Structure 1
Amino acid sequence: MHETPAASWADTLAVFDLETTGIDIDTCRIVTAHVGVIGPRGEVLEQRQWLVDPGVEIPTAATLIHGVSTERARAEGLAAAQAVAEIGETLADATRRGLPIVAYNASYDLSVLRREAERYGHDPLAGPEHVVDPLVIDKAVDRYRRGKRTLTAACAHYGVELLDAHDAGADAIAAGRVAQAIARAYPELAAIAVADLHRQQVEWCRDQAVRYQEWRRMNGEPEFTTSGAWPVR
């Protein structure tokens, strides 16, 4: 893989990930969260993590993925209303500092956070306007690569270590390092200003959703629909 210095947008990144009770952005609740900052070599400069009592039962299927049971969340977790406020403010602080927010499949995590903010009467995270989503970018720059596009698969492809998948901290940091690896691998992408990259991802995600919807409809699901809204649905 061709290595070039990362662009300025990739030098210092805020990284963000949630683990939740499910996959429906309108109903699922936050169980764990991580907001951190990584430097040019992927080194961890700052990190903050939350274990949250979501106020509802955590389905067994979700516990099997991220390892947090209802009993543990109730015993050790922060009240959801307080946690959601803290997560939002920590991300808002990162944006005020001019840091891009990296999240893998950002439209899921940022949408869940917005729904949770609305649920508890908090102001939602403004914008955000400088988001970097390695999933959207990877599918755009390497459209025809075969195989899965999970974070684990992206880490393997770009040579990023991921030791504890589905841990919010491990996933957030790995996503940031994948973003930096993509910036090194594609110099033309690395040269784009982060605001322009954000706007480009809006278009890429919309186009990717259109193609995916067409594929699903051609393969036995004629009523299938999906949203291409990004970074918040």
Structure 2
Amino acid sequence: MTTNPSPIWTDVPWLGFDTETTGVDAHQDRLVTAALVLRRAGAAPTGPDLVRTWLADPGVPIPERATRVHGISTEYAREHGRPVVAVLEELAVTLVDHWRRGFPVVVFNGAYDITLVESELARHGLATLSDRLGHQPRPVVDPLVLDRKVDRWRKGKRTLTDMAPVYGVTPDQNAHTAEVDVAMTLDVLAGMLKAHPRELSGLTCEDLHTFQEQAHAAWAEDFEAFLRSKGKDEAIARQWPLA
């Protein structure tokens, strides 16, 4: 954890992050694309975002169901993608550099993407994010976790495209392209801050991270109870952002 005083999360650069992968199991599936979008002035952007993207050859076939989501086939990834080990190393270095400055990484449903990258790094014999930092990845800002907390009783789905209009953001037709999803996530987060200033303004990066850890654990407990009421015995991970 950074030894410097934690800054106010709205006043520092936000690094948005997203992946597209071979499936939905963060511990077993593989990285296909990744995108980082740097919004240098956080909640008050003053210029164009900086965007960096990667296309990896995951080293395994990409299931057709995954290709239907993100448009990347096994053949395309093999021909145009870089070795996944090189992509993972560059991605990890960039994320860790941002975290070491005490700045937040913004990721929608962060327990998936961060856990997947952590698992992939370990799978390929690379130092994990936790290894490099000396602690679990933080600070993270996850609009999904925040939305479940600040607008708990709102009905309807909470996918990124479903949430976007709630916070004044028009869903992009190219959703499920990693860099498009990242930009939309940053816009949703900015809209959420305007809609819920009392809950979200004035917090340091570290305080907001802790707030989300607690919010996710409470949501997971409630959701497990709901599943049990429906006759389903399913455990929901209390840990966040590493599941």
> Does 1:213 pair with 2:214?
no
Q: Which runs of 5+ in 2 are unaligned?
A: 1-6
Q: 142, 152, 163: which is aligned to 1:154?
A: 163
- Quote the residue 1:51 is aligned against: 55
Corresponding residue pairs, total: 226
Shift of 1:42: 7.9
- Quote the residue 2:102 is aligned against: 98
- Deviates further, 73-82 or 8-17: 8-17
Shift of 1:162: 3.0
**C-alpha separation between the residues in 1 aligned to 2:47 and 2:186?**
10
**C-alpha separation between the residues in 2 aligned to 1:227 and 1:104?**
17
- Deviates further, 130-139 or 35-44: 35-44
Q: TM-score, normalised by structure 1?
A: 0.92
Write the deviation string for residues 156-192 of structure 1: whole angstroms up to 9, x where unpaired: 1101233111111011111112112111222221121
Asked whether the 8 Å contact 1:36–1:44 carries over to 2, the reply is no
Shift of 1:73: 0.3
What does 1:1-233 align with in structure 2 at a 5 Å threshold?
Answer: 8-11=8-11, 12-38=13-39, 39=41, 40-41=44-45, 44-125=48-129, 126=133, 127-163=136-172, 164-188=174-198, 189-221=200-232, 223-233=233-243
Asked whether the 8 Å contact 2:32–2:56 carries over to 1, the reply is yes
Shift of 1:43: 5.2
Q: Aligned pair in 2 of structure 1 residues 217, 66: CA closer, same or farther (>3 Å)?
A: same
**C-alpha separation between the residues in 1 aligned to 2:46 and 2:160?**
16
Write the deviation string for residues 181-223 of structure 1: whole angstroms up to 9, x where unpaired: 11122222112112111001001101111111111111131x2
Q: Percent identity among equivalent residues?
A: 38
- The list of structure 1 runs, each at least 4 consecutive aligned residues, that deviate by more than 6 angstroms after superposition, is none
**C-alpha separation between the residues in 2 aligned to 1:131 and 1:42?**
22
For residue 97 of structure 2, give the secondary structure of its aligned residue in structure 1: helix
Q: TM-score, normalised by structure 2?
A: 0.89
**C-alpha separation between the residues in 1 aligned to 2:89 and 2:170?**
31
Shift of 1:23: 0.7
- Quote the residue 1:4 is aligned against: none
Shift of 1:9: 1.5
Calculate the aligned-residue CA RMSD, in Å.
1.5
